[in-house]
Amino acid sequence: MSTALPERDGHTAVVTLDRREGPYGEVVLRQRGRDYEIIANGCFLMDTADGRSERLLIQAALDELDRTGGAEGPSVLIGGLGVGFSLAYAAAEPRWGRIAVVERETAIIEWHRGGPLGAFSGGALEDARVEVLHTDLLEYLAAADGERYDALCLDIDNGPDWTVTESNDGLYGADGLAVLWHRLREGGVLAVWSAQPSPAFEEALRAAGFSDVVTHEIPVSRGVPDVVHLARRAG
């Protein structure tokens, strides 16, 4: 990693720690005071300032499985490693069985394995239940012989209505939702993080055959709330 001279953003120095060009564009790791930020193709994706919504993504899925008497030791697929909040939260919960996390960006995985983001994934990558799948989520989900999960917890891009990478749009459309439905076991739960509420996505979930569609809002310091969309594969 290389350290650049700090930029000034208000009264906080912003330091670029790493900048890489990959198959999906540029990805950057920056430090702003005590917090770290991931920037993709010039657009802010996430930071370490507040992980409440990323943790709710996992907790809401587990609560929904518990509510209807789900399988013991349920499996979960986390879409996107990000800054590690969701993975760390899942690994801290002994009720989860298999925990798979899909991350396509080599840089992000390396920032966790040997870089500053390892403090936020909290050693979860060493948990025996955890497997990191270094691949594109859409490609992984589309595999004909793909594994089914009790829960799919997706934190991809900025959510259904605002994607930085154009190919991620397909995840939230009818074809993508059909793939997600088939990758869930019967009674399985889909949880989707979004940077803003999306009534249109709620309707898309119902149209794709999901039931029990609800949206949890998490207030943030400025702007519209983060949300977690929750839905179930009924049969």
Q: For every one of its 235 residues, what pLDDT tens digit does the chain have, with 9 covering 90 and above?
A: 434 444 545 557 899 999 999 888 999 999 999 999 999 889 888 899 989 989 999 999 999 999 888 778 999 999 999 999 999 999 999 999 999 999 999 999 999 999 999 999 989 999 999 999 999 998 899 887 889 999 999 987 666 755 555 555 678 888 899 999 999 999 999 999 988 888 999 999 999 999 999 999 887 666 678 889 999 998 6
Q: DSSP string of 173-231?
A: SHHHHHHHHHHEEEEEEEEEEESS--HHHHHHHHHTTEEEEEEEEE--SSSSPEEEEEE
Q: Give me the sheet containing 149-154, strands edge to edge.
A: 130-133, 99-102, 76-79, 149-154, 184-194, 226-233, 210-218
CB 104 within 8 A of CB 135: yes
Per-residue pLDDT at 6: 46
